[in-house]
Structure 1
Amino acid sequence: MQRIGSALWPSLQCFQVYGANTNVGKTIVSTALCKAWRGKLDLSVHYLKPVSTGPLDDADVNHMAKFAPGVNTKTLFQFSKPLSPHIAAKDAGDIPPDLTVQQRTYHDLSEAVTKADVAIVETAGGVLSPAPSGSVQADVYRPLRLPVLLVGDYHLGGISSTIAAYESLRIRGYDVLAHFIFEDAEYQNSKYLTDFFLGNKVSTIELPKPPRQVEDAMKDLQNMQTYYSDVAASHAILEAVERLGHQHEARIKRLGEMSARAADTIWYPFTQHKGRRPEDIVVIDSAFGDNFDTLSNTMSPEASILTPAMDGSASWWTQGLGHGNPSLALSAASAAGRYGHVMFAGAIHEPALSLAEMLLQHHDNPRLAKVFYSDNGSTGMEVAVKMALRAARTRYGWDHAQEDIGILGLRGSYHGDTMGVMDCSEPSTYNDRIEWYNPKGYWLDYPTVIMRAGRWFVEPPHGQEAAFGNAQSFDSLNDIFDLRRREDAVYTRYIEKTLTELRDAGRKFGALILEPVILGAGGMNFIDPLFQHALIKAVRNRPDLIGTQKLRKPGSLDSWSGLPVVFDEVFTGLYRLGRFNCSSFLQAQPDIVVNAKLLTGGLIPLCTTTASQDIFDAFLSDEKADALLHGHSYTAHAVGCAVAVDSLDAMMQMEKTGKWDEFRRSWATDEVTGEGCWSMWSKEFVTKVTNKESIDGVFAIGSVLALTLKDAAGGGYNSLAAQGLHSRLLDIGDKGWRIHSRVLGNVLYLMTSQITTWETLKNVEQFILESVN
């Protein structure tokens, strides 16, 4: 796999020249800078024009060679027609893919490290001009994230085009170091733009216009040579190149200091800080697509100090449409400019309304009617618990001041770190030592799904074959999820027996709370979907088992029965497992569902708690105190809602247009209906890795891959069995890139985004297989 990431070498100052428009003098500015570096500072200079159109005689590399002799020049893709690159490439019948342009640009710069002190990469046309593929060139070069020298437009209308170009670069995460513009007495663009850029902490360098072209070729050549000699020796240019050198050095110094400064000031989540060294902290300079650009441990002058690392945790499960997604960034900027943040109580704005209607439509659940907004999964689950408990108390007439009302759940469940939802999980590493923790519930055992030696198994909890039956073997994941053909009598007996014992002991419950299919932070446990189906069915069909004989609206699709059923889909919802939600996996619809993580494609915190009309009605009263008195200052933040609408729409379009069909075919899902379970991780790879000696079991579904490593001590959250594999994946070796995974005891998990390509994953899978060896 060709390494692609931000390009930053200690010994090579590297800059990219963008223009606010065509015909603004990018090549003239590049030539003047190169001549200054080459002449006055005696630096070796490399000039790269990745894409060039027009006759070779008029190519910018020839202009550079003519007026800045001694500068090494190169063009990667030359198209003869003087047209936009996307048209010229099509006319030539040779359209290089974006990845090829990125790879060859990076490769050329990496070769220049041993030959040059400075490199200039000059673009073609304006900031948003198309590349040969038709993609906007600012997006094509973004993975390299070279610091930008922006050449402004001195023509009429140039103020607008220059500011628009600057904002287009900033919204894509570029650092604009300097603005160059030619003098113009008539329009005085430079005067206005100097003040504008000063306000944005970007210096403006004003240059004299080059002399007008004359008919006498020799005289014209002499005029240009004199012009470049004067400009390259001018105070403005020499000050600019000196400042650019300082900025290059300062960036490297700043990156090198970040881990030590962070160790002094940051209290990290889920981290035992005793013995933790600053060098254990990963310094992330930027991120794009599936990758972080991380500071390398190698500080060799000839090696890039930034190394791409696949974001193998999808940034704690949030990343869906790639880091630095320009479409989502634009959505956020648009909503920020339109609204900023506006208070939400008793008000409505378009993004919040659009998102609520979209969720209700695509959940396709007749039970759901109302959407409540909060900021993250933990608080969204707090809201869900409040809703469910109130609905149960209201219906059954319980006195919560006199009776303990708990929740039903599964062992190893995790719903967040706020105090209320911590009480909804059994004692564990996450909550057992928290001073106010007071578990309020009962958590059932369950059978799990795992692949071993190429076959799928449903296995009972250790030592509980009598209650759950013996392990069962299946040919495919689809067979496990074919609930209509499987018998749930054993599970039903266990569930009903447990509920009867709890009822007879006087226990009362106000909700059944489930993480559908996979228990995430609790250890990446893949639950037999038939068990969760049977549990929901027992609670709804046998309300007598949870302390009441009342059964409201038997068989109704829009009213809860027994207990409100809450799906915590913070992790598993919204295409994480390949589907919009988890209801079809379990053949059951929730009364309340909580969504976060993928909701905004990884860009901004937002959570929704969507509930039935019955749940909503439980809060209706003549008393204000009976309302759901919950909220926070940024409820239904307009930026988050706008981004969520576009994020969900993008993923739904991916599903509709078959973007994941190649992954589906690997798992032999039905090509006509699209039904069946599949994963972005290939079936061939998953089967191979299950046969590795150190691997106890594996599962893959949707974008999730979990590897359980053998541990003679029994595993669990405090196990160190997966640390070795975790370290090997981070060790770049001769690969030039690394994989950033996450560990839960003896389980190591990885997650793709929803835009990860088949080609990328094949390389990642090979790296994992080698690392497991």
Structure 2
Amino acid sequence: MTSHVWHPFTQHGLNEPIPHVARAQGALLHLADGGTLIDAISSWWVTTHGHCHPRIAAAIAAQAGQLDQLIFAGYTHDPAETVARGLIDLAPRGEGQPELRHVFYSDSGSTAVEVALKMALGYWHNLALDGLATEESGGPRSRILVLEHSYHGDTIGAMSIGERGVYNAAWQPLLFDVGTIPFPAPGRERACLDALDAACARKPAAFIVEPLILGAGGMLIYSADILREMAAICRRHGVLFIADEVMTGWGRTGTLFACEQAGVVPDIMAVAKGITGGAIPLAATLATAPIFDAHRSTDRARLFYHSSSYTANAIACAAAVANLAIWREKDVLGRIVALTQGIATRLERLARHPAFANPRQLGTIAAIDLVAADAGYLSDLAPRLRAFFLGHGLLLRPLGNTIYLMPPYCLDEDQLDHIFTAIAAAGDHFGE
């Protein structure tokens, strides 16, 4: 049967097989042809407790029969209020740092980041209207600082603050200029911090980071000490610090949010993916009181001009309410610790394989590079590895020659063994 679907991040000219998934449960995807796949990347990093979690599914079904959608401009509903309170209760806290106090809803990681950028620029714009915090030119601060190799999404603003290259070359004319801070790779930590300090001295609007690990940039890890110092530099210079916790949130790095490991409270924080357990789209951008207060006024021209038709969709919020209840009532972090240890033991064994290099892990995220002459995102190994893993009953989607896993927390020992056995077999098959 002919398909009319245009798939994301898929080169249809390669005619790669596109598996048809009929249903899912836990860590397993059940295919229409009767086969099964272990979802080793949580279906693009969203599924936390497992597919079709009964409590989340029941919450969605119940809400769908009560209130499905409501305009959120000037209206509200119980699920949105409950999720907002829950997010504020769970948000990172740090001594002497302002608390995240306000929640703005959107529907994806990219839009949560766009909202964060607009909040930051709106903050400086409104302060400038009051004659405060202007640049020497007299205008509001507008420059955004980003971390080298970062990725924040595929909308125009999110692409602008991500690494420039194959991801966004076609849309270069649409992207705005940013200041790039070198990634704090081993031996380059001081260069990163010195560059950030110098850039912040020139009074930009904000600095945005993926805390502790860069996802699509290659699963590149840096320390909590560096994250803490980055935030401190921004505070010293009065630069807003934005944490993109879209991928790193909801336990992936070993704590609920990555910023917790550094004791950092960002001025603005974007969350998405696991906010509903991965069941349905929802995102949120959290902000401190000064960000909110800069937009609060009797002047309607100074309101925050952003929305989407489905902002705070009631069904999505109901799923998030159920997810928050699971985090409160179940030992999710205990499962994460056990899974982290299981991955670490197997990754250590795999690292001895001569075909692999640079093993790395942060919480339940692990990555290793297959040694290759054509390393990088466009390595010819990527489609061959995807096909290989598909043949071994796995959903794995390597970033070029980098094989990574980010499984749901319900993964069992046998499934974990299967994943690492298949990765080792890939090393045997493709190793040089």
| TM-score w.r.t. length of structure 2 | 0.90
- Check the 8 A contact 1:426/1:442 in 2, yes or no: no
Match of 1:745 among 368, 391, 400: 400
Distance in 1 (CA, whole Å) between partners of 2:25 and 2:308 is 31
Match of 1:692 among 336, 341, 353: 353
Match of 1:363 among 91, 107, 122: 91
Match of 1:538 among 233, 240, 260: 233
The match for 2:222 is: 527
Offset from partner CA, 1:4-63 (integer Å, 9 cap, x none): xxxxxxxxxxxxxxxxxxxxxxxxxxxxxxxxxxxxxxxxxxxxxxxxxxxxxxxxxxxx
Is residue 285 from structure 1 mapped to residue 22 from structure 2 by the alignment? yes
- Check the 8 A contact 2:141/2:205 in 1, yes or no: no
The match for 2:208 is: 513
* 1:399 Cα deviation after fit: 9.0
1:661/1:420 Cα in 2 relative to 1: closer, same or farther (>3 Å)? Answer: closer
Which protein has greater RCO, CA pairs closer than 8 Å, 6+ apart? 2
Q: Match of 1:618, SS?
A: helix
Q: Match of 1:744, SS?
A: coil
Is residue 267 from structure 1 mapped to residue 6 from structure 2 by the alignment? yes
Is residue 602 from structure 1 mapped to residue 278 from structure 2 by the alignment? yes
1:391-410 to 2 correspondences below 5 Å:
391-393=123-125, 394=127, 395-398=132-135, 405-410=142-147
Distance in 1 (CA, whole Å) between partners of 2:58 and 2:140 is 51
- Check the 8 A contact 2:135/2:141 in 1, yes or no: no
The match for 1:765 is: 420
The match for 1:735 is: none
Q: Match of 2:61, SS?
A: helix
Match of 2:108 among 372, 376, 388: 376
Match of 1:306 among 20, 25, 34: 34
The match for 2:67 is: 339
Offset from partner CA, 1:578-629 (integer Å, 9 cap, x none): 2111122223211111110001111110001010000001112232121101
Instruction: Read off the aligned partner of 1:273 and give its amino acid letter.
Output: H
The match for 1:218 is: none
The match for 1:718 is: 378
1:336/1:431 Cα in 2 relative to 1: closer, same or farther (>3 Å)? Answer: same
- Check the 8 A contact 1:707/1:748 in 2, yes or no: yes
Offset from partner CA, 1:344-386 (integer Å, 9 cap, x none): 2222211111110011011143521100011111111111001
- Check the 8 A contact 1:422/1:437 in 2, yes or no: no
* Structure 2: runs of 5 or more not aligned: none
* 1:681 Cα deviation after fit: 4.0
Aligned structure 1 segments of 4 or more residues deviating by more than 4 angstroms: 398-404
- Check the 8 A contact 1:517/1:526 in 2, yes or no: yes
Match of 1:755 among 399, 410, 413: 410
Q: Match of 1:433, SS?
A: helix
1:120-159 to 2 correspondences below 5 Å:
none
The match for 1:412 is: 149
Distance in 2 (CA, whole Å) between partners of 1:623 and 1:538 is 34
* 1:311 Cα deviation after fit: 1.2
Is residue 625 from structure 1 mapped to residue 301 from structure 2 by the alignment? yes
Distance in 2 (CA, whole Å) between partners of 1:649 and 1:494 is 39
1:524/1:597 Cα in 2 relative to 1: closer, same or farther (>3 Å)? Answer: same
1:342/1:588 Cα in 2 relative to 1: closer, same or farther (>3 Å)? Answer: same
The match for 2:175 is: 438
* 1:266 Cα deviation after fit: 1.4
Instruction: Read off the aligned partner of 1:627 and give its amino acid letter.
Output: L
Distance in 1 (CA, whole Å) between partners of 2:206 and 2:397 is 31
Distance in 2 (CA, whole Å) between partners of 1:509 and 1:311 is 41
1:656/1:382 Cα in 2 relative to 1: closer, same or farther (>3 Å)? Answer: closer
Distance in 2 (CA, whole Å) between partners of 1:722 and 1:709 is 10
- Check the 8 A contact 2:196/2:230 in 1, yes or no: no
1:148-547 to 2 correspondences below 5 Å:
257=1, 261-262=2-3, 265-274=4-13, 276-277=14-15, 280-295=17-32, 305-365=33-93, 366-393=98-125, 394=127, 395-398=132-135, 405-434=142-171, 436-448=173-185, 459-460=186-187, 468=188, 491=190, 494-497=192-195, 499-500=197-198, 508-541=203-236, 543=237
- Check the 8 A contact 2:156/2:174 in 1, yes or no: yes
1:601/1:680 Cα in 2 relative to 1: closer, same or farther (>3 Å)? Answer: farther
- Check the 8 A contact 1:725/1:772 in 2, yes or no: no
Match of 1:730 among 390, 404, 419: 390
Instruction: Read off the aligned partner of 1:745 and give its amino acid letter.
Output: G
Distance in 2 (CA, whole Å) between partners of 1:680 and 1:320 is 17
The match for 1:615 is: 291
Offset from partner CA, 1:189-225 (integer Å, 9 cap, x none): xxxxxxxxxxxxxxxxxxxxxxxxxxxxxxxxxxxxx
Distance in 1 (CA, whole Å) between partners of 2:333 and 2:353 is 36
- Check the 8 A contact 2:115/2:306 in 1, yes or no: yes
Offset from partner CA, 1:666-713 (integer Å, 9 cap, x none): xxxxxxxxxxxxx15432211111111111212222222212222234
- Check the 8 A contact 2:231/2:264 in 1, yes or no: yes
- Check the 8 A contact 1:427/1:439 in 2, yes or no: no
* 1:764 Cα deviation after fit: 2.5
Offset from partner CA, 1:376-401 (integer Å, 9 cap, x none): 11111111001112223424124999
The match for 1:563 is: 239
Aligned pair count? 419
Distance in 1 (CA, whole Å) between partners of 2:71 and 2:291 is 25
| TM-score w.r.t. length of structure 1 | 0.52
Considering only CA atoms, is the larger Rg found in Structure 1 or Structure 2? 1
* 1:425 Cα deviation after fit: 2.2
- Check the 8 A contact 2:208/2:243 in 1, yes or no: yes
Offset from partner CA, 1:156-184 (integer Å, 9 cap, x none): xxxxxxxxxxxxxxxxxxxxxxxxxxxxx
Offset from partner CA, 1:451-505 (integer Å, 9 cap, x none): xxxxxxxx23xxxxxxx2xxxxxxxxxxxxxxxxxxxxx62x65335543675xx
